[in-house]
Structure 1
Amino acid sequence: MTSSSPRHDSVSSRGHSLRDEPSEFCRWGNRLGTWSSHALLSGELWTRRARCVSGPGTRTTGGPDGGGAWRGRGGGRGGAGAGAGPSSGLGLGAARVRAAAADSPAPTGNRSEAQPEPAMEQPRKAVVVTGFGPFGEHTVNASWIAVQELEKLGLGDSVDLHVYEIPVEYQTVQRLIPALWEKHSPQLVVHVGVSGMATAVTLEKCGHNKGYKGLDNCRFCPGSQCCVEDGPESIDSIIDMDAVCKRVTTLGLDVSVTISQDAGRYLCDFTYYTSLYQSHGRSAFVHVPPLGKPYNADQLGRALRAIIEEMLDLLEQSEGKINCCHEH
């Protein structure tokens, strides 16, 4: 994301609109320091919607905190068959079956066949993906559009995907990023931003601490022009972006993927460094070109899905090696 003339309005494509109250929006942004991160995510201040995508089934959206109840197929939580208890209105035929079973003699002796052990359900991995709201000439931010396309595609049954739109404001980023990590304890957080200079999907290797002079949507920039006082000059992601780039390229997508070490010293870089600092490097940042230059929303969404799947695979492999070393 690169700095340009700031906007005083910000609107979520599927959330609450603040377009008619720009001055109040900026005052709200400057008051964030007096609110807790719980309030920020619960919707008292965070007006944009976050959603949770949990694989096939029916999903209900629970509001800004992404806490919608999941209704799966086949008798899962709240799903079909969940009400088959004593009061579920079984028919007469079923009642007769129960009565016949009660009159039958109890089986004697040991059973020759062992009962199979119930399958252990694998824990689901939480993944948080963020895009940015409008700013400057980007009245429609391609990053948020791409994230919404990713949300439609999902990341498979083993991943809970949480998506957030972040306003282009330094102070909001400083409150929101730690709150996201605290709320979801994610396996991975991926931030997506738009770059007007990009012609390919770009994987950023690191975030930078200093050099933030561009004004945000509230005409504010940090007085210290840095993310974290006394923080390191830069922080690298623990994810091998070169490996991700090579892997995605071999998939034959109709999208070019490249590598960068400079996220731009504006809100993209600021967000990335803040997240890397919070997560000890367990974050990633992806820059996308503006829509139509040259890729459409569907292409960007599919590219994001492929990139994140490769990142998760690399993280799983690296953790497996660490666990193996500990066992020996």
Structure 2
Amino acid sequence: MILLTGFEPFGGETTNPSWTAAREAAALLRAEGHEVAAVELPCVFGDAVAVLQAALAEHRPALVVCAGQAGGRARISLERVAINCDDARIPDNAGNAPVDEPVVPGGPAAYFSTLPVKAALEALGTAGIPAEVSQTAGTYVCNHVFYGLMHALRLTPGARGGFVHVPFGPDQVPAGSGLASLPLEHMTQALAVVVRTALATTADLKLAAGATH
């Protein structure tokens, strides 16, 4: 079983392409014969992880790809690491704005993705989809979910998971703003590529995809 998740709109937006892409990628993968569930998460600290944990308990997936929106980024971001820190620049959809709080009190400082991020980077490049390996998932609800996912999966031997950030969709970017966006079909295909790559890859590739800052 494969589980894909995306988020509800937040920050005054009326749409969130992460959920649309997750839902459509799930349909695409089902058409290829895979067993896939898609779940929309609330953009709320605590509640998002609770909904995710309920989905993990219901579906018992072997592979989980969570997606979120990173407005301003120009590429699909394959997140490498989740940190045990909530530090909200803006309130979540319930008005919560934790500052310097742990996602899991007493938990490890960080978890690494168990997705083959380098192999996925190469596969996305081959598919003509702009992508990068990202060294930070931020400190908002996306990182909160990413950390919560990896903390939960540590108890399920063999289960793998990680997080992917998508840019704004074209409909979210005002004309002349200069903000980056990506067509929704590219985001949908990107999530499907990440899933296919994870299913086909047992050991990640060793490619240079780091950052100097």
If the TM-score is normalised by the length of the shorter chain, which range does it land in? 0.7 to 0.9
The amino acid of 1:235's aligned partner reads Y
Relative to structure 1, the CA distance from residue 230 to residue 303 in structure 2 (aligned partners, 3 Å threshold; closer, same or farther) is: same
CA RMSD, aligned part only?
Answer: 1.9
- Rg (Cα) greater in structure: 1
Instruction: Give how far 1:177 is off.
Output: 2.0
Residue aligning to 2:88: 213
Residue aligning to 2:148: 274
| 1:191 and 2:66 are equivalent in the alignment | yes
Q: Which has the higher contact order (CA 8 A, sep 6+)?
A: 2
Q: Is the 8 A contact 1:213 1:225 kept in 2?
A: no
Deviates more, 1:170-179 or 1:230-239: 170-179
Residue aligning to 1:249: 125
Gaps of 5+ in 2: 171-179, 204-213
Q: Secondary structure at the match of 2:164?
A: strand
Residue aligning to 1:295: 182
| 1:171 and 2:46 are equivalent in the alignment | yes
CA distance in structure 2 between the aligned counterparts of 1:213 and 1:294, rounded to whole angstroms? 23
Instruction: Give how far 1:212 is off.
Output: 2.3
Residue aligning to 2:192: 305
Gaps of 5+ in 1: 1-125, 319-328
Aligned residues with identical type, % of pairs:
27
Relative to structure 1, the CA distance from residue 152 to residue 240 in structure 2 (aligned partners, 3 Å threshold; closer, same or farther) is: closer
Give 1:204's match in structure 2, choosing from 57, 79, 86: 79
Instruction: Give how far 1:158 is off.
Output: 4.3
CA distance in structure 2 between the aligned counterparts of 1:176 and 1:300, rounded to whole angstroms? 23
The alignment's TM-score, normalised by the length of structure 2, stands at 0.81
Residue aligning to 2:114: 238
Give 1:180's match in structure 2, choosing from 27, 39, 55: 55
Q: Count residues with an aligned counterpart.
A: 189
Q: Secondary structure at the match of 1:255?
A: coil
Instruction: Give how far 1:226 is off.
Output: 1.4
The amino acid of 2:181's aligned partner reads P
Q: Is the 8 A contact 1:206 1:237 kept in 2?
A: yes
Residue aligning to 1:261: 135
Residue aligning to 1:226: 102
The within-5 A match list for 1:66-145 is: 126-145=1-20
The alignment's TM-score, normalised by the length of structure 1, stands at 0.54
Q: Is the 8 A contact 1:237 1:276 kept in 2?
A: yes
Q: Is the 8 A contact 2:3 2:61 kept in 1?
A: yes
